[in-house]
Amino acid sequence: MADILTVEHLKAYYLMNYFGITREVRAVDDITMSVRRNEVYGIAGESSSGKTSFIRVLAAAIRPPLRVVAGSARYEFDDRSIDVANAGPEAAEAIRWSHLSYIMQGSMSVLNPVRRIERTFEDFAARPLGLSGRALRQRFVEHLGRLKLPPEVLRAFPHELSGGMRQRVTIGLATIANPQFIIADEPTTALDVVVQKDVLSLIRNLQKEMGASVIFVTHDMAVHANMADRVGIIYAGRLVEEAPTRQLFTAPKHPYTAHLVASLPRIGDTTQRPALEGRPPNLADPPQGCRFHPRCPLAIEKCRQEVPPLATVAPDQRSACWRWDDVVPLPGSIPAARVPEPVR
Amino acid sequence: MSVPLLEVDRVSKEFAMGGLLSRQHIRAVDDVSFTLQADKAEIFTIIGESGSGKTTLARMILGLERPTSGDLRFRGELISRRMSRPERLAFMAAVQPVFQNPFEAFNPLKQVDRYLFATARRFLPSPDQAAVEAAADAALVKVGLSLVEVRGRFPHELSGGQLQRVAIARALIPNPPLLITDEPVSMVDASLRMSIVNLLKALRDDHGVSVIYITHDLATAYYISDRIVIMQKGKVVETGPARAVLDAPEHPYSRLLKASVLSAEDAGAGKLGPATDLMALSDRLLGATESRLEQRQDGRAVRTYSELPAA
């Protein structure tokens, strides 16, 4: 079966026109990737790396000044296929929540503070489920049971719930119509460590149960390590590396990834961690050539002139670096030899 | 023995919640004691989840909040009391805060160097412009920046990591022996985070500044701290040398926190099963009526309970 999502040469820019002067911010610049069926695909990137703009295109929430300039993002659902990068709002509306859903970051700002949870559930689910009255309510109670939430939650206001419970409710909203594709944007960033692990395992279990595919966005590499099947790293609007999770952590082939992996402190290891100098580039005026070259320890003249293509460098692994063969794991990285037994 | 830098002596803080008839008292901080020595700079870490009272404790150390009971002493002087303005200024020069979100700490419409100059003018003996600028530059050099880079810049022109370093530089202007940092890296991007953590380490090692590092991140705590205290709902459950405690935590709640840390070491193995037994046990221990901190041989103290409350 074909991949559920195929993105080809996607370019989405913020185009602004002030008094006849056009400015463009290349937030998503030529991204090609795909998400397989039944897979959790992790996307990592810093703030203002363009990951949120990329997600907006994938979630069919493209609003000016963000515009798709070129490329496509095609979903192959079981019963239909749609290119969200070029489809109109009506076509996007038809698949939202029923096929494609979205778990948002701040659970307090997602849930309406003056409406009971049940009303919010009705707003989200009545149309895609096509149910009403008692049948609809019965469905809510069943679904909350899957999320280990008591039915009384439906009568509660958002402020009466703890942060972890509220995040479970937003996950419930996103999954109630059994979507085939879920986009999760930093769903656990605001949570405490204990609750975070709990919520992550909940998302993972629901995904397996429903057979859905998930794009999971966070800047926390430790979450990706435990959550994702494959991870893609975005830097300054471009996908710079993509690999199966274990491979990405033990044998990174892009200097930026190598740094991200090595800078993760671990309990039981006191190796001096390196800090990356410089700052992420301004997307309105990105550097020539490879966008990472001003901060890259391996940069050569070619990196300053030519943009490296995202090339396959190992089975299932792609890297956009001219010198990918010279990238070695930095001190503090995880030794490849210690392979844990998978529990899945 | 010399006078300790900071003494926190059996400090508690209660907040009243609700109206006249349904008044409830919440003990945000419950009988916390520790001491920082003056002769040896160290990074002292307070670990806890939200609601553990770690920020309330920090506010009390900064003198922004007065404890319900117990005493705080800085260099032998009681600080949990009303202070006159000169006393207060002298104390503020010695204990400086760094906050969580650098984008909120700075006014977006103000150039960041104005914060540096204002702090320098307040705390320096001679407020002439040359001395003020020299002090600001010296503090910026300590954090790996310089006045030339920062002068005239607005907060949005700097990255989160740079901005947090400016916030730390501002705190360093009066040459304080103690910095209180409340989650200083949680809002900073991954690639810039280690520069802040390494900076705190350098302040301790090269400039002799003691740091109280408040966090919920056990991994960075292990990386930089000398001693830690783990708090659960206002109570200290385990305290001692950081490496010893985090390598082999003893209290169920400390074990739960360690078990919940996502490790990159198991990358790709999908280990996400929550430690439900520890969760249930540490919840049960919250209901215990009698407990005390018991000293262990390796220097740590662990909260022990005379009887285990029924589930």
Please tell me whether residue A284 adopts helix, strand or coil conformation: coil
Residue B190 vs residue A183, higher pLDDT? A183
Residue B11's identity, in one-letter code, is V
- When pLDDT is averaged across residues A11-30 and rounded to a whole number, the result is 86
The pLDDT tens digits for B90-134 are: 999 999 999 888 888 899 999 999 999 999 998 888 778 899 999
Looking at residue A241, what is its pLDDT?
95
Distance from CA of A305 to the nearest CA of B (A): 24
Taking an 8 Å cut-off on Cβ atoms, the answer to whether A226 and B159 are in contact is no
For chain B, the average pLDDT equals 88
Contact residues, chain A, for B242 at CB < 8 Å: none
Cβ-count burial A144-170 (b if 16+ within 10 Å, e if not): beebebeeebbebebeebebbbbbbbb
For residues A336 and B226, give the distance between their C-alpha atoms in angstroms, rounded to a whole number. Answer: 30
Whether the Cβ atoms of residue A159 and residue A153 lie closer than 8 Å to each other: no
Structure-model confidence comparison of residues A229 and A193, the more confident one: A229
Q: Give the DSSP letter string of B118-174.
A: HHHHHHSSS--HHHHHHHHHHHHHHTT--HHHHTT--GGGS-HHHHHHHHHHHHHTT
Q: Considering only alpha carbons, which residue of chain B is nearest residue A223?
A: B262
Using CB atoms and an 8 Å cut-off, which of residues 249-288 of chain A contact chain B? 249-250, 256, 259-261, 263-268, 270, 272-277, 279-280
**pLDDT of A255 above 50:** yes
- For residue B38, the 8-state DSSP code is S
Q: With cut-offs at 50, 70 and 90, classify the pLDDT of residue A336.
A: low
Global pTM exceeds 0.90: no
Cβ distance of B190 and A223 shorter than 8 Å: no
Q: Is the pLDDT of residue A254 over 90?
A: yes
**Using 50, 70 and 90 to split pLDDT, how confident is the model at B159?**
confident
Pairing of strands B178-182, B95-98: parallel
Q: How far apart are the first and last CA of chain A?
A: 23
Q: What pLDDT is recorded for position A344? A: 46
Q: A280 vs B159: CB contact, 8 Å cut-off? A: yes
Q: Are B54 and B48 in contact (CB under 8 A)?
A: yes
pLDDT above 80: residue B28: yes
Tens-place pLDDT, residues A268-296: 888 788 777 777 788 878 888 999 999 89
Cα dist. B113→B124, B152, B160, B166 in Å? Answer: 16, 6, 16, 9
Q: Which of A250, A267, A277, A316 would you mutate first to test chain B, the one with the most B CBs within 10 A?
A: A267
- Going by pLDDT thresholds of 50, 70 and 90, the confidence category of residue B308 is confident
Indicate whether A331 pLDDT > 60.
yes
Contact: B266, A270; criterion CB under 8 Å: no
Ranking A198-212, B165-179, B222-236, B263-277 by mean pLDDT, the lowest is B263-277
How far, rounded to the nearest angstrom, does the alpha carbon of residue B240 sit from its chain's CA centroid? 16
pLDDT above 90 covers what percent of chain B? 47
**Partner residues linked to B304 by β-bridges:** B292
CA distances from B153 to A185, A287, B16, B114, B156 (A): 31, 21, 43, 10, 8
Q: DSSP class of residue B175?
A: -
Give the pLDDT confidence of A103-159 residue by residue, as tens digits.
887 766 788 889 999 999 998 888 888 888 899 999 999 999 888 888 889 999 988
Q: What is the pLDDT of residue A41?
A: 96
Tell which residue, B170, B189, B188, has the closest CA to residue B179: B170
> Which residue has better confidence, B22 or B261?
B261
- The reported pLDDT for the residue numbered B311 is 59
User: Is residue A5's pLDDT more than 50?
Assistant: yes
Average of pLDDT values for B161-188? Answer: 89
> Residue B77 forms beta bridges with which residues?
B74
Of B190, B267, B271, the CB nearest to A219: B190
- Going A248 to A250 to A252 to A258, the CA torsion angle's sign is positive
| N- to C-terminal Cα separation, chain B | 47
- pLDDT score of A339 more than 60: no
What count of CB pairs under 8 Å joins A to B? 154
Q: What percent of chain A has pLDDT over 90?
A: 41
Residue found by looking up tokens 């659970």 in the block = A107
Beta-strand ranges (E) seen in B233-305 are: 235-241, 291-295, 301-305
Read off the pLDDT of each residue in B5-29 and give the average, rounded to a whole number.
Answer: 85
| Single-letter code of the amino acid located at A36 | R
For residue A78, pLDDT over 70 is answered with yes
Which residues 122-181 of chain A have a CB within 8 Å of chain B? 163
DSSP A96: B
- Please tell me the distance from the alpha carbon of residue B228 to that of residue A311, in angstroms, as a whole number: 46
What are the angstrom distances between the C-alpha of A219 and each of A171, A332, B39, B50, B192? 19, 19, 39, 21, 12
Query: A18 pLDDT exceeds 70?
Result: yes
Interface of B with A in 256-285 (CB under 8 A): 256-258, 260-274, 279
**Interchain contact, B262 vs A225, CB within 8 Å:** yes
Using the Cβ of B156 and the Cβ atoms of chain A, whether some distance falls under 8 Å is answered with: no
User: Can you tell me the mean pLDDT for B295-300?
Assistant: 88
| Contact state of A342 with B270 under an 8 Å Cβ cutoff | yes
